[in-house]
Structure formats: structure tokens, C-alpha cells
Amino acid sequence: MTTYWLEHGWVGERVEDGVVVDLVPPDAPGPVPVDEELGNGATAPGPVPPGHILAVRTGVATPPAGAVRLPGLTLPGLANAHSHAFHRALRATAQVGSGTFWTWRETMYRFAAALTPDSYHALARAVYAEMALAGITAVGEFHYLHHQPDGRPYDNPNAMGEALIAAAADAGVRLTLLDTAYLSSGFGAEPDRHQRRFSDTTAEEWAARADRLRGDSHTLIGAAVHSVRAVPADQLATVAEFARRRGAPLHVHLSEQRAENEACLAATGRTPAQLLADHGVLGPGTTGVHNTHLTDEDISLIGTSSTGTCMCPTTERDLADGIGPAPRLQRAGSPLSLGSDSHAVIDLFEEARALELNERLRSRTRGHWTAAALLRAATADGHAALGRPEAGTLAPGAPGDLTTLALDTVRTAGAPPLLGAETAVFAAGAADVRHVLVGGRVIVRDGRHVTLPETGRALAEAVAAVQDGGRAAAR
């Protein structure tokens, strides 16, 4: 057993002082029986697997002998529910000039064309390490770069997806690979030259390729519909059935742009949400990403079906998408999660803060969510959206995924520890993360990634390689 003493811990959605967390070591030979003599805290109901929490005790004023001290506020590991790893290469570059989502997309295509399995592995490994440094212990990768730029499959048809799986393992974070069906450039249109590498031609061919992907202790294989414009209506059910058959999470970009809504109405007479409902895509295993431009009926369909909503506020404002109706969606029954999407920044505290502050700007009132509710979106509800409902809590039986935030930096100092949730959401940032454990294994120590200590250099080199390739492709 490995014991950690948390100066302050987020337990049961409140800050507790002096929290002892007993973990089964990640290299233990097998599950450990529960010892009822562990103390006054809660223990797991049965044998606990390696890398999971065995017991949690609160109100322990001094560290037990041999315990590892974690000063500051320790939270469950954060969940980044929506990522496009290769978009990290666009940071700053995409801020030059003006335009819309659609002009930004042309720049994105140029970088997408430059990636190979090797260069994608190098970039994603550094991006996932950046996430780990920000306290993120699990990521949902919305993956559609499947083939060679001309659309021909690699000798290994899943070479790009497996590069992402290896990258996450190297960085030490959990991955839900949301293998994405992307079959057309618009309603009734073939993929254009930029999109050929995304397409498997049909949903059946997509499913046959995706079915060959294999998860492991750190990797889940999920599914995604890129959007209603990218998957023909008569093939949506195939993707939904693939996810149901595997018990896998299903994600979909939904109503991010008004132009998509207008095109969908013109082609089908239905809004995107209505079209997805018609073909069995909505439901408790599904998460709509963005959910920005919705009708009252759309909100009801999403909420009553318990379809989740992943908001990506820093990307939505970066791309001038708009502010989605998150409070109404949640009241209707849609659980909220958060993602960094295009990685304009990678900071789940900022995403949580932006969700509330954007709504304040829209409504001109304050206090739409408590800090505790925003932390839940960044932790438990985010992990659930990624297919890990047991994660995102400091509780017996949960994975040993911990993120410790310093409370003595220039951003976080001054407030009483009791207000640690408010400090985390409304003042802290990724730079305040000090220690991160995934499955009981330390991946960030004292603000430094353990296996990729020169993360900045790795990012610079990987991004430069992709940008050079993108310039060459443009010529």
C-alpha cells in the first residue's frame, strides 16, 4: 500500500483538511482485499485493483509515518473530454489576421495534410504531456486523421490511431480514442481534397477499420460522428450501433455553426439534433460537442435523452462560434463536461471559469454554477463522458488519479483553504499544478513531467516539424 497525506482534499464535493489516501500500488501483483482496520474513513466494498484507491480518511492532522505529503489542494484528476491533438500546431499561427471558423479551417487542413504516424506521435506525446502538466489525467481524442493525405490506407490501417495510443501511454495519461466517421464534405458531397485522408468511404468500412482497434488498461476505444454534414443521414445508425455494440462512448460535433444548421435544414428539413434523434444517435452514452446554436426543441431532445454536452469555451470564443445554452441544457437533463478542443490554451480551470463567465456576459447576471458544479464538469462528469464513470472522485475503489494544486502562488494565495474550489475555478491556472498521479503512478512531480521533462522543447520541435510540412504541402 502507498499512502498519501493531502493537506487539503476535494472529497465529496467539499474541501477536507488532512486527508489520507491509501492506494494499491500500480505494480501490485493483483487486487488487494479491504482491511477493515484501516481507520475512520471509507473503504472500498471489495478487492481493489492495482492503481486504485483503497481507503480515504479525513481529519488527519499530521501525516502518518511513511506517507507522501501533498501540500496544497488535491483534486481528482481532470478530464479533457474533447481534443484534436494536431490543432496544437495552430496555436498563435491561427491568430494572424481575421476571418471565420471556415477560413480558420483552411489553415487547419494544411497542417493536417503534413502529418505522418511518426510526426503525429511526437506531437501528440508532447501535447498530452502538456495536458498532464495542467492536471489532466484523461483525454478524449476526437480522431479523424485516418489515412494518407491522398486517402490511401496505410499498410496498417490504424497507424495514426495507434500513434495516438502510444503517445498517451508515453505521456502517462488515460486516453479515450474517439475514432471518428468522416465521410463527406457536406450534404450529398464527396470529400474534398483536404478531407480524403479522413474518409473510409462508408460507415460500414469505417466500422470495419475501427473494430480492429484495441484498448488496454489506459485506453478505451470510443466512436464519433464528425458532424451531420460529414456523415450521411442513412449511415448515422451504423455508427450509433457500433458504439452500442461495444458499450463505447459516442461523441458528435453538434450545431457548432449556424451555417451547418441552415444546410441541414435545407437538405433534410430537420435540425442537426432532430436528425441525430431520428437515427438513434442521441442517448445517455452520447455527448454532443459544442451544442451552440439550438432551438427549444433541440434542447428538449438533448436533455430528455440524457445526451451529454461538452463545452469548449476557449475554442468557441477563439473561433467566434458563439455561446451555447449550457444552463438550459443542464436543466433539461444534459450533463456538462469540458474540453480544450483546438488547444488555443490547455487549461481546464480556464475552461470551467469561462463557462460561468461567458454566461455572465450573455445574461448580465452572476452565479449560474457553483465552483463545485464547475469542478464536477471538469472531473466526474468529464470522465463519465469518456466512458469512465468510476473516475473523477477521491473515493475508495476509484482510480488513483490525483491532481495537486498549489495554494501559495501569486494567483492562489490569500483565500482560506475552505474556499479551495472557488480558488481553483476562479483564480488558478494550469501553471499552478504541482503533482499529478495516474493510476497511482507519478507523472508530474513539482511541476515537471517525469518522463518528458523538457516538454516545452518537445512541443517546439514537434510543432516546427508539422508547420514545415504544412508550408511544404501548401507549395
Contact between residue 357 and residue 366 where contact means Cβ atoms under 8 Å apart: no
Instruction: Out of 40-54, 106-120, 347-361, give the one with best mean pLDDT.
Output: 347-361
Share of the chain above pLDDT 70, in %: 96
Angle CA(325)–CA(302)–CA(344) in degrees, nearest 5? 50
**C-alpha closest to that of 382 among 15, 208, 136, 186:** 136
d(CA 264, CA 43): 51
The total of other beta-carbon atoms located within 10 Å of residue 341's CB is 29
Residue 39 has pLDDT above 60, yes or no: no
Residue 173 DSSP SS3: coil
**Mean pLDDT of all residues in 56-76:** 97
What is each CA distance from 468 to 114, 196, 464, 465, 473, in whole angstroms? 8, 21, 6, 5, 9
Strand partners, 441: 438
Report which of residues 414 and 102 the model is more confident about: 414
Q: DSSP strand E in 267-394: where?
A: 286-290, 308-311, 336-338
Cell of 326: 449550457
* Confidence tier at 40 by pLDDT (50, 70, 90): very low
For residue 290, indicate whether it is catalytic.
Answer: yes
Residue 367 has pLDDT above 50, yes or no: yes
The total of other beta-carbon atoms located within 10 Å of residue 188's CB is 9
pTM of the model: 0.96
The total of other beta-carbon atoms located within 10 Å of residue 328's CB is 15
Q: Which pLDDT belongs to residue 188?
A: 85
Average pLDDT, the chain: 95
Share of the chain above pLDDT 90, in %: 88
d(CA 315, CA 454): 26
* Confidence tier at 472 by pLDDT (50, 70, 90): low
- Side-chain-facing half-sphere of 378: CA atoms under 13 Å: 33
* pLDDT tens per residue, range 129-174: 999 999 999 999 999 999 999 999 999 999 999 999 999 999 999 9
Strand partners, 448: 445
d(CA 375, CA 234): 38
**Mean pLDDT of all residues in 106-112:** 88
* Confidence tier at 473 by pLDDT (50, 70, 90): low
**Mean pLDDT of all residues in 255-277:** 97
**C-alpha closest to that of 149 among 101, 97, 110, 189:** 110
Cα 418 to the center of its chain, rounded Å:
28
Q: Which residues of 46-81 are buried (b: 16+ CB within 10 A; e: fewer)?
A: eebbbbbbbbbbbebeebeeebeebebbbbbbbbbb
Q: By CB neighbour count within 10 A (0-12 exposed, 13-18 middle, 19+ buried), where does 134 fall?
A: buried
Residue 37 has pLDDT above 60, yes or no: no
Amino acid identity, residue 457? Answer: R
Q: Name the pairing type of β-strands 174-181 and 136-143.
A: parallel
Sheet holding 2-11, edge to edge: 42-43, 53-57, 14-23, 2-11, 68-76, 402-405, 433-438, 441-445, 448-449
Give the H or E element holding residue 140. Answer: strand 136-143
Q: Which residues contact 36 (CB under 8 A, 6 or more apart)?
A: 43
Strand partners, 68: 4
Of 30-34, 98-102, 324-328, 442-446, the poorest mean pLDDT is in 98-102
Residue 54 has pLDDT above 50, yes or no: yes
Cell of 414: 490569500
Contact between residue 107 and residue 128 where contact means Cβ atoms under 8 Å apart: no
For residue 408, indicate whether it is catalytic.
Answer: no
Residue tagged active-site, from 200, 298, 321, 341: 341
Q: How many helices (H) and strands (E) does the chain have?
A: 15, 17
Residue tagged active-site, from 290, 293, 368, 435: 290
Residue 31 has pLDDT above 50, yes or no: yes
* Confidence tier at 401 by pLDDT (50, 70, 90): very high
* pLDDT tens per residue, range 434-452: 999 999 999 999 999 999 9
Angle CA(100)–CA(321)–CA(151) in degrees, nearest 5? 65
Contact between residue 301 and residue 277 where contact means Cβ atoms under 8 Å apart: yes
Output the 3-class SS for 55-75: EEECCCCCCCCCCEEEEEEEE
* Confidence tier at 421 by pLDDT (50, 70, 90): very high
d(CA 415, CA 437): 25
Q: Which pLDDT belongs to residue 356?
A: 98
Q: What are the backbone angles phi and psi of residue 440, rounded to the nearest 5°?
A: 80, 0
Cα 444 to the center of its chain, rounded Å:
18
* Confidence tier at 65 by pLDDT (50, 70, 90): very high
Contact between residue 379 and residue 393 where contact means Cβ atoms under 8 Å apart: yes
